[in-house]
Amino acid sequence: MFGNWTKTFVLMAAITALFVAVGGALGGQGGMLIALLLAGGMNFYAYWFSDQAVLKMYGAVEINPENNFGEGRFKGYYSMVKELAENAQLPMPRVFVINESQPNAFATGRNPEHAAVAATTGIMQILDARELRGVMAHELAHVKNRDTLISTISATVAGAISSIAQFGMMFGGGHRDGDDRPNPIIGILIMVLAPLAASLIQMAISRSREYEADRMGAEISRDPKALAAALEKIHSYAHRIPNPVAEAHPETGQMMIINPLSGADLAGLFSTHPQTEERIRRLLSLAHQY
């Protein structure tokens, strides 16, 4: 089974190859060279800075013990994450809040030493403290499993691939012999296949890791029923409350604990998450262990 470092390398290599192939199709050798340089720069940026880019995209605000978020039972959000990180034997991650009505959460960062967790204000409004604790344990499980590197990188590169057709048109498109006009067929193929390839890469990464993060999150919190209850609530609310940032940047949807996109009910091949019902069933089957 591939480790996440291997998966990350394969992902970056695949993205580079796709960029070079598209650059060659649309711009010949010159297009291939420029595409290779762009892919190299994008991979460097994705590894070192993609977590910061995603947090900024969502307007995440960092909290600490001095500006701990919320009132009442959520006053201890930072302390909750700290306790769970100690349970998981992880370095303390940076903790963020996103002013967003849709209930959701995600983790990001290239490794446990540079990790961050973020939760929306919406999730804090619908979950009780025990359920929120289960969610944050799930996110820390992603950190412990080192899922966050490949998750954040895939979100960044998928967004870049989605604009690859525009990049390709800079080179005039794939030319017909003796004709300077762009080949419309190649242009259409790039517009359709490049985003599809990005989505397939994301889906290959996302599904199984959620089950493992649920299992490990239950281990960290020692309360699988709380995470199961949280997933049921989030699933119900998230599909009724739109998330404008996620809709504008659908490549980030696979980072969330529940798919934030309005088409999330279209299950099956094109779902970035396992079925919530199955996740809940698996969690409840673990309850006797704790």
List the binding residues.
138, 142, 210
Strand order in the sheet with 116-120: 61-63, 94-98, 116-120, 105-108
- In the three-class reduction of DSSP (H, G, I as helix; E, B as strand; rest coil), residue 198 is classed as helix
Distance CA 288, CA 53 (A): 41
Distance CA 40, CA 56 (A): 23
Is 113 one of the annotated active-site residues of the chain? Answer: no
Could you say which of 66, 71, 131, 139 is catalytic? 139
Alpha carbon distances (Å) from 127 to 94, 106, 186, 227: 21, 16, 49, 10
- In the three-class reduction of DSSP (H, G, I as helix; E, B as strand; rest coil), residue 106 is classed as strand
Token pair 């490990």: residue: 216
- List the catalytic residues: 139
